[in-house]
A and B are shown apart, each in its own frame.
Chain A
Amino acid sequence: MSDDGSEAIGEFLQGEHEPASSWVVLAFGLVTALVLLVLHSILYPGRELPVIAEILPVFEGVFDSGIWFFILGVMLGGFAIIATMLTEATSE
Chain B
Amino acid sequence: MDEVLTTMAVFWALMLLTYFLMQNGLSIFNDVAKSMGMFMLEKALGPAIDLVEGRPGSASKAWFMQGLLWLLVASTLTFEGLWLMHEPAALHSLSAWGYNPTSDSLLYAGNYAVLYGGIGMLLIGAGLHILPRLARTELASEKNAVLVSFLWTLSVMVLVIGAHDSVVLGVDIIFLGTAMHVLAFFAVVINQLLTVSKRQGALAIPGWLIIFGLLADPVATAATFISGSIETGVGQWLLGHMVGGTFFFASAAGVALYAASSATGNPLWSKSLAAAVLVGSMATINPMGEIDGRMAADMLGLSLGDFQFTTEDNLVAAFLMALATIPIMALAANVLITLRGGDAFVENPDSAGTAELNLGASMLLPLAIGSMFIQSDAFAASPELSGLAPSLMLIGIWLVFVPISLGAALHLFPAVTGRHLLSRNRARWAFWMMGGGAFLGLTVTMMADMIDMALIEATVGDPSSLAGELRVVGAVLFYGTVVGAVLHTLNAVSGLFRGTRVDSERETSSSLSPESYSLASPTSVRRILASGANLETTVVPVGESDDAGSATEL
Q: List A residues at the B interface (Cβ < 8 Å).
A: 61-67, 70-71, 73-74, 77-78, 80-81, 84-85, 88-89, 91
In the complex, whether B156 has a CB less than 8 A from a CB of chain A is: no
Q: How far is the CB of A89 from chain B (nearest CB, A)?
A: 7
Complex CA distance for A62 and B93, rounded to whole angstroms = 5
* Given A73-B482, A77-B483, A88-B496, A67 contacting B490 (CB threshold 8 A): no
Would you call A77 and B482 a contact (CB within 8 A)? Answer: yes
Question: Once bound together, how far apart are the Cα atoms of A74 and B483, in whole Å?
Answer: 8
Interface string of B480-508 (1 = CB under 8 A from A): 00110010011001101110000000000
Q: Which residue of A lies closest to B496 (CB)?
A: A88
Contacts of A65 in B (CB 8 A): 87, 89-91
Q: List 19 A-B contacts (CB under 8 A).
A: A62-B93, A64-B93, A65-B89, A67-B83, A67-B84, A67-B87, A73-B479, A73-B482, A73-B483, A74-B76, A77-B486, A78-B72, A81-B72, A81-B489, A81-B490, A84-B490, A84-B493, A85-B493, A91-B497
The total number of A-B Cβ pairs within 8 Å is 54
Contact of B79 with A by CB under 8 A: yes
B494 proximity list for chain A (CB < 8 A): 84, 88
> Once the chains are docked, how many angstroms separate the CA of A61 from the CA of B72?
27
Do residues B91 and A67 form an inter-chain contact, with CB atoms below 8 A?
A: yes
9 pairs of A and B residues whose beta carbons are closest in the complex: A77-B486, A88-B497, A65-B90, A67-B90, A62-B93, A67-B83, A84-B493, A74-B76, A81-B489
Known: A64-B93, A89-B497. A70 touches B490 (CB 8 A): no
Question: In this assembly, does B80 line the interface, its C-beta being within 8 Å of a C-beta of chain A?
Answer: yes
Which residue from chain B places its CB closest to the CB of A74 in the assembled complex? B76
User: How far apart sit A63 and B92, CA to CA, in the bound complex (Å)?
Assistant: 10
- Which residues of A lie under 8 Å from residue B91 when comparing CB positions? 65, 67
CA distance A66 to B83 in the complex (A): 10
Cβ contacts under 8 Å, A78 to chain B: 72, 486
A88 near B87: Cβ-Cβ < 8 Å: no
How far, in Å, is B445 (CB) from chain A's closest CB? Answer: 15
CB of A77 within 8 A of CB of B72, answer yes
Q: Known A-B contacts: A81-B489, A88-B494. Give 16 more (CB < 8 A).
A: A62-B93, A66-B90, A67-B80, A70-B79, A70-B476, A70-B479, A74-B72, A74-B486, A80-B486, A80-B490, A81-B486, A81-B493, A84-B490, A84-B493, A85-B493, A88-B493
Most-contacted residue by chain B among A64, A66, A70, A71 (CB, 10 A): A70
Of the four ranges (under 10, 10 to 19, 20 to 34, 35 or more), the interface on chain B belongs to 20 to 34
Q: CA A20 – CA B441 in complex, angstroms? A: 39
Q: A88 and B498: CB pair below 8 A?
A: yes
Cα A70 to Cα B482 in complex, Å, equals 10
Taken together as a complex, chains A and B put the C-alpha atoms of A84 and B496 apart, in Å, by: 11
The distance from the CB of A39 to the nearest CB of chain B, in whole angstroms, is 35
Expressed in whole angstroms, the Cα–Cα distance for A85 and B79 within the complex equals 25
CB distance from A56 to the nearest CB of B (A): 15
For A71, the chain B residues whose CB sits under 8 A away are 76, 80
Bound complex: CA of A52 vs CA of B94, how far in Å?
23
CA A72 – CA B474 in complex, angstroms? 19
Shortest beta-carbon distance from A28 to chain B in Å? 30
Distance A63 CA – B94 CA, assembled complex (angstroms): 10
Residues of chain A within 8 A (CB-CB) of B497 are 88-89, 91
Interface string of B131-169 (1 = CB under 8 A from A): 000000000000000000000000000000000000000
In angstroms, how far is the closest chain B Cβ from the Cβ of A12?
Answer: 22
- A67 cross-chain contacts in B, Cβ below 8 A: 80, 83-84, 87, 90-91
Query: Which residues on B sit within 8 Å (CB–CB) of A61?
Result: 93
Contacts of A80 in B (CB 8 A): 486, 490
> Which B residues, 73 to 110, have Cβ-Cβ distances below 8 Å to chain A?
76, 79-80, 83-84, 87, 89-91, 93
Report chain A residues within 8 Å CB of B479. 70, 73
Looking across the interface, which residue of chain A has its beta carbon closest to that of B489? A81
Min distance, Cβ B390 to any Cβ of chain A, angstroms = 19
Which residues of A sit under 8 angstroms from B87, Cβ to Cβ?
Answer: 65, 67
For A66, what are the chain B residues with a Cβ–Cβ distance below 8 Å?
90
- Nearest Cβ on chain B to A75's Cβ, whole angstroms: 10
Chain B residues, Cβ within 8 Å of A73: 479, 482-483
| CB-nearest residue of chain A to B93 | A62
- Closest-CB distance, A2 to chain B (whole angstroms): 41
B13 → A minimal CB distance (Å): 47
Within 8 A of A (CB), among B43-82: 69, 72, 76, 79-80
- Please name all residues of chain A whose beta carbon is closer than 8 Å to the beta carbon of B72 when the two chains form the complex: 74, 77-78, 81
A81 partner residues in chain B, CB cutoff 8 A: 69, 72, 486, 489-490, 493
| Chain B residue with Cβ nearest A88 | B497
State in angstroms the CA–CA spacing of A41 and B350 once bound together. Answer: 53
- When chains A and B are docked, how far (Å) is the Cα of A64 from the Cα of B493? 34
Cα–Cα, bound, A40→B489 (Å):
43
CB-based nearest B residue for A64: B93
Residues of A within 8 A of B483 (CB): 73, 77
Q: Provide the bound-state CA to CA distance between A61 and B91, in Å.
A: 10
| Complex CA–CA separation, A73 to B489 (angstroms) | 15
Q: Give the residue name and chain of the B residue nearest to A78 (CB).
A: B72
- A91 and B498 alpha carbons, distance in the complex (Å): 10
Task: State A81–B84 Cα separation when bound (angstroms).
Answer: 26
Task: Report the minimal beta-carbon distance from A71 to chain B, rounded to whole angstroms.
Answer: 8
Complex Cα–Cα for A65 and B91 (A)? 8
B80 proximity list for chain A (CB < 8 A)? 67, 71
Residues of B close to A91: CB separation below 8 A: 497
Which chain B positions have C-beta within 8 A of A84? 490, 493-494
How distant is A67 from chain B, measured CB to nearest CB, in Å? 5
Write out the residue numbers on chain B whose beta carbons fall within 8 Å of the beta carbon of A63.
93
Q: For the complex formed, measure the closest distance between the CB of B426 and the CB atoms of chain A, giving whole angstroms.
A: 12
Q: How far is the CB of B200 from chain A (nearest CB, A)?
A: 37
A4 to chain B, nearest CB (A): 39
